[in-house]
Chain A
């Protein structure tokens, strides 16, 4: 929008790029604030300013002054109404940074525009009118910001001039805004008092608020580090790899490359990769760009790769690392933001567009519509413009995806109306049918019955603190052997335990379940619920479960409580597991007699964050048990051998 100013280098080359979203209601003075940012930073061209002066005389609302809001408001219709009707993008640079502002509208009927801006933003600025404080509108904006996964937030407390620049007024609003952020799971926002109209604490500090010691808005925007917030416009640094394939480049029979933008992780030439959804594996041969081949490419890079093997890869496939496969399923739970004037109805057919792939789907159920004032969910029959709702979606074919909290690109989708091709909803995937039982909500009339025995009393009696030891690994890794030996050792040391064995579960509690991913998940959920009960009685739970799905293990950890959960991953080489398999399960799986067998015909997602990793091909049973007891001792769950009670 404006001239760049000389920076560190003589050619005026600005520094890195920050994409920010501004949200506020019609009267919070958001357009004025943006105009003030540009004006006071000397970022306006003379002719733009002159045009605004001319327009201010005829349509401006600033009573004779230059109406800074006109700088931000682009379209004629909105200038005449004095409101903002769409997302405007504004560009400016300071010596420290380049900025792209997505200016989202404030009034309620345009939630969809805010969602649009938020989907690619690194940071959000939420405006609050100092005279009005935190309003329903503030809650709505904050919950959308939270929903869209933006964790870096500035609360701009504007119009401080209307409250006499009073410190206590600002403090009260800042406290309320922080409480709201905490309730939404956002990081504590940076709260900054200001008057955009008079220019206090926007770019220049001014003399009106000597009690305020923090940074002005511009200073904060120039310095804030959003890289660590893990939602850098869909380009997340991480241990996993996600490369959705956009198209195949095949100029002639000699060359076949797969083009796409890496949306998570790093790719290196020579990496073993897996192609979703086919499950085929290959090795990356070259990473090609116009300028040069790369050894390595990181998140956000648009690349073309070739593979060592000629396997079938096409648009909509996703190249991943074999240890972190995508979720699969045709039934999923998602949060939808409805963007169409035509209501969304259950049972109607929509097109679901993911990265490169389009499927037919139906919204099978509206679980609940979010009331942004109370942050409570309420039953709803249909979806109206700007509704935010949890839904169940059933696709005609199986989908491959991540959850939105893990990846903004592979975890999101849009819904398209078949009749007019309009984009009717933005969707964020939160679960699959295999995780559905974990999310089930108990009847609202139920009440938890409390025990009269305290945690301390139990610890005193039992000489231990409750903990769940999850022993996970492939068939033949030694889970039951280690769990049984651990039980014996703890028993001999006077501790009280309950052993939950996956196979024993299936002989009773879970005898109705099979071995699909959904049923495996349910078996783990039941074991986790039992472990929680066991822990609540002060006992130590030892759970030996295959639990091949990382998301399922994470849910178990969350259900039991991360502070009393230890994950022990038994990791011998696959051939050792096979050699120990006296029941012949691997051979049966090889023949196809057993379907969905982890390690053969279904993935086993190795844990990244196991508390203990034990290679049972090199450590004997005693050494493994010793490793676990040492871990428990070190954290005070059990007393050290010979030591006094905790």
Chain B
């Protein structure tokens, strides 16, 4: 048994969170939300998410927020800052690092932790690294299980967390459409779709026994477009990979894979070519498909999406192994 290699990064001391010492802001009437229906809609989603995040802090003794560095995580992080303002975020953020993430994601992660000042935990499955599990030699199923699902369980067990926030949205995939906001997991982190607690009004039942936990999805009711509009309206910074730029890619079975570092294994006859691409979701670079695009700003992305005809998870190789595969991963403890 290898010891989990969770490391803790402390927030930079010279970058304290926006604290209560700040002066009183200018008070404004809350009229805009009442007048503009589109803004009222984002406001309704934001208010619901903040309610959920606060409820977790109130009901659990040791929560943690999963931080995948993606756009949904960025929104969730922003909502957590809003929920406890003017105080700091009262729980750590946890990143499961498979060692195969885009390098820009890691740079972005560390910079955000410094600038915003949250407590960041990073965990990698050391057994998987020792066994040289990688997305080239192993099936995406096996790789994901070892480097993501097992790694996550190790980190959650090591931290003794009783609640873990995830940025998943119900509109991403069909099996997620039935997920609860408070999703109960047994001692082995397993999800049983037939044994979930009914959720009425905004009364969330977070009671658990020793060793059990709750996965919490504050963005359950957001759509991909909501996320982008919210990012735009709030000026939230995202990893530049979401925006189109010339990048070296190879085309494999119709999917564009970016050559992010020198560990990339070219197949016979493959040569990287530079195309203007962006990513709709971010994960491990060898398993994440790019889309050809020239949308270089958030506004251009939302305009492009208005005309889109393909769903966002399509770029994820792991969802396509077989019909219903996400549901099986969730039963095993995947987020």
Chain A residues within 8 Å of B, Cβ to Cβ: 1, 3-7, 9-17, 45-48, 51, 54-55, 73-77, 79, 85-91, 93, 98, 100, 112-113, 115-116, 119-120, 234, 246-247, 249-252, 254-255, 257, 259-261, 269, 286-298, 300-302, 304, 315, 339, 351, 353-356, 408-409, 412-414, 416, 421-423, 426
- Asked whether any CB of chain A lies closer than 8 Å to the CB of B305, the reply is yes
Measured between beta carbons, the chain B residues less than 8 angstroms from A4 are 223, 225, 305-306
B332 to chain A, nearest CB (A): 14
A12–B38 CB distance below 8 A: no
B305–A247 CB distance below 8 A: no
A423–B85 CB distance below 8 A: no
- Asked whether any CB of chain A lies closer than 8 Å to the CB of B198, the reply is yes
Mark contacts of B301-335 with chain A using CB atoms, 8 A cut-off: 1 yes-contact digit, 0 otherwise: 01101111111001000000001100100000000
Measured between beta carbons, the chain A residues less than 8 angstroms from B71 are none
Least CB separation from B19: chain A residue: A251
A414–B200 CB distance below 8 A: yes
B38–A409 CB distance below 8 A: no
Question: Contacts A12-B302, A422-B197 known; A292 to B225 CB distance under 8 Å?
Answer: no
B323–A55 CB distance below 8 A: yes
B307–A6 CB distance below 8 A: yes
Measured between beta carbons, the chain B residues less than 8 angstroms from A73 are 174
A288–B85 CB distance below 8 A: yes
- Asked whether any CB of chain A lies closer than 8 Å to the CB of B240, the reply is no
Ranked nearest first, the 8 interchain pairs of A and B with the lowest CB-CB distance are A12-B306, A251-B87, A255-B20, A16-B37, A290-B82, A302-B50, A74-B174, A421-B207
A417 to chain B, nearest CB (A): 9
Mark contacts of B191-226 with chain A using CB atoms, 8 A cut-off: 1 yes-contact digit, 0 otherwise: 001101111111101011100000000001101010
In angstroms, Cα B324 to Cα A55, docked, is 10
Measured between beta carbons, the chain B residues less than 8 angstroms from A17 are 40-41, 44-45
B316 to chain A, nearest CB (A): 11
A251–B309 CB distance below 8 A: no
Measured between beta carbons, the chain B residues less than 8 angstroms from A412 are 200-201, 203
B30–A294 CB distance below 8 A: yes
Please indicate which of the listed interface residues B30, B40, B232 has the most CB atoms of chain A within 10 Å of its own CB: B30
Least CB separation from B314: chain A residue: A47
Contact of B51 among A246, A422, A423 (CB under 8 A): A246
Question: Contacts A75-B193, A100-B221 known; A90 to B55 CB distance under 8 Å?
Answer: no
B168 to chain A, nearest CB (A): 12
Mark contacts of B64-100 with chain A using CB atoms, 8 A cut-off: 1 yes-contact digit, 0 otherwise: 0000000000000000011111111000000000000
A116–B200 CB distance below 8 A: yes
Measured between beta carbons, the chain B residues less than 8 angstroms from A45 are 308-311, 314
A246–B47 CB distance below 8 A: no
In angstroms, Cα B196 to Cα A301, docked, is 28
B178–A88 CB distance below 8 A: yes
In angstroms, Cα B40 to Cα A113, docked, is 28
In angstroms, Cα B21 to Cα A74, docked, is 49
Measured between beta carbons, the chain B residues less than 8 angstroms from A356 are 58
Question: Contacts A3-B307, A247-B54, A251-B86 known; A89 to B220 CB distance under 8 Å?
Answer: yes
B44–A115 CB distance below 8 A: no
In angstroms, Cα B56 to Cα A607, docked, is 38
Mark contacts of B167-191 with chain A using CB atoms, 8 A cut-off: 1 yes-contact digit, 0 otherwise: 0001100111110000000000000
Extra 7 A-B pairs, beta carbons < 8 Å, given A100-B221, A252-B19: A4-B225, A54-B323, A90-B177, A259-B83, A288-B86, A292-B28, A421-B207
- Asked whether any CB of chain A lies closer than 8 Å to the CB of B153, the reply is no
- Asked whether any CB of chain A lies closer than 8 Å to the CB of B247, the reply is no
Measured between beta carbons, the chain A residues less than 8 angstroms from B229 are 11, 13
Which B86-133 residues have a C-beta within 8 angstroms of A? 86-88
A84 to chain B, nearest CB (A): 9
Measured between beta carbons, the chain A residues less than 8 angstroms from B139 are none
In angstroms, Cα B7 to Cα A30, docked, is 50
* Sample of 21 A–B contacts (CB below 8 Å): A1-B171, A4-B305, A6-B307, A9-B38, A13-B38, A13-B229, A15-B38, A46-B310, A74-B175, A75-B193, A79-B324, A85-B194, A88-B177, A116-B200, A295-B28, A296-B30, A300-B44, A302-B46, A304-B85, A408-B201, A412-B203
In angstroms, Cα B305 to Cα A113, docked, is 33
Least CB separation from B29: chain A residue: A295
Least CB separation from A268: chain B residue: B29
- Asked whether any CB of chain A lies closer than 8 Å to the CB of B27, the reply is yes
Measured between beta carbons, the chain A residues less than 8 angstroms from B29 are 294-296
Question: Contacts A74-B177, A298-B30, A421-B209 known; A46 to B309 CB distance under 8 Å?
Answer: yes
In angstroms, Cα B40 to Cα A570, docked, is 41
A76–B327 CB distance below 8 A: yes
Measured between beta carbons, the chain B residues less than 8 angstroms from A315 are 58
Please indicate which of the listed interface residues A74, A422, A426 has the most CB atoms of chain B within 10 Å of its own CB: A74
A423–B27 CB distance below 8 A: no
Measured between beta carbons, the chain B residues less than 8 angstroms from A89 are 170-171, 177-178, 220-221
Question: Contacts A304-B85, A423-B198 known; A246 to B324 CB distance under 8 Å?
Answer: no
Measured between beta carbons, the chain A residues less than 8 angstroms from B311 are 45, 47-48
Contact of A300 among B47, B197, B306 (CB under 8 A): B47
A96 to chain B, nearest CB (A): 10
Measured between beta carbons, the chain A residues less than 8 angstroms from B1 are none
- Asked whether any CB of chain A lies closer than 8 Å to the CB of B25, the reply is yes
Measured between beta carbons, the chain A residues less than 8 angstroms from B20 are 251-252, 254-255
In angstroms, Cα B201 to Cα A288, docked, is 25
A222 to chain B, nearest CB (A): 12
In angstroms, Cα B182 to Cα A423, docked, is 12
Question: Contacts A4-B225, A100-B221, A294-B30 known; A74 to B178 CB distance under 8 Å?
Answer: yes
In angstroms, Cα B85 to Cα A4, docked, is 33
A328 to chain B, nearest CB (A): 20
Measured between beta carbons, the chain A residues less than 8 angstroms from B176 are 74
Question: Contacts A13-B229, A251-B19, A414-B200 known; A293 to B51 CB distance under 8 Å?
Answer: no
Least CB separation from A237: chain B residue: B34
Contact of A255 among B87, B177, B203, B223 (CB under 8 A): B87
In angstroms, Cα B310 to Cα A76, docked, is 23
Please indicate which of the listed interface residues B57, B176, B311, B324 has the most CB atoms of chain A within 10 Å of its own CB: B311
A410 to chain B, nearest CB (A): 10
Measured between beta carbons, the chain B residues less than 8 angstroms from A414 are 200, 203, 205
- Asked whether any CB of chain A lies closer than 8 Å to the CB of B299, the reply is yes
Measured between beta carbons, the chain A residues less than 8 angstroms from B209 are 421
Question: Contacts A46-B309, A414-B205, A421-B205 known; A14 to B30 CB distance under 8 Å?
Answer: no
Please indicate which of the listed interface residues A16, A91, A255 has the most CB atoms of chain B within 10 Å of its own CB: A91
- Asked whether any CB of chain A lies closer than 8 Å to the CB of B24, the reply is yes
Question: Contacts A46-B309, A246-B54, A409-B202 known; A421 to B208 CB distance under 8 Å?
Answer: yes
- Asked whether any CB of chain A lies closer than 8 Å to the CB of B26, the reply is yes
B21–A426 CB distance below 8 A: no
A331 to chain B, nearest CB (A): 21
A295–B27 CB distance below 8 A: yes
B291 to chain A, nearest CB (A): 12
Which B221-247 residues have a C-beta within 8 angstroms of A? 221, 223, 225, 229, 232
Measured between beta carbons, the chain B residues less than 8 angstroms from A48 are 311
Question: Contacts A15-B38, A119-B200 known; A302 to B83 CB distance under 8 Å?
Answer: yes
Contact of B199 among A47, A91, A116, A294 (CB under 8 A): A116
Question: Contacts A3-B309, A12-B303, A302-B51 known; A250 to B87 CB distance under 8 Å?
Answer: yes
B85–A290 CB distance below 8 A: yes
In angstroms, Cα B289 to Cα A47, docked, is 14
Measured between beta carbons, the chain A residues less than 8 angstroms from B299 are 11
A3–B34 CB distance below 8 A: no
Please indicate which of the listed interface residues A45, A287, A409 has the most CB atoms of chain B within 10 Å of its own CB: A45
In angstroms, Cα B147 to Cα A229, docked, is 50
B203–A413 CB distance below 8 A: yes
In angstroms, Cα B84 to Cα A259, docked, is 8
B6 to chain A, nearest CB (A): 26
Question: Contacts A15-B41, A47-B310, A426-B200 known; A292 to B27 CB distance under 8 Å?
Answer: yes
A18 to chain B, nearest CB (A): 10
In angstroms, Cα B327 to Cα A552, docked, is 52
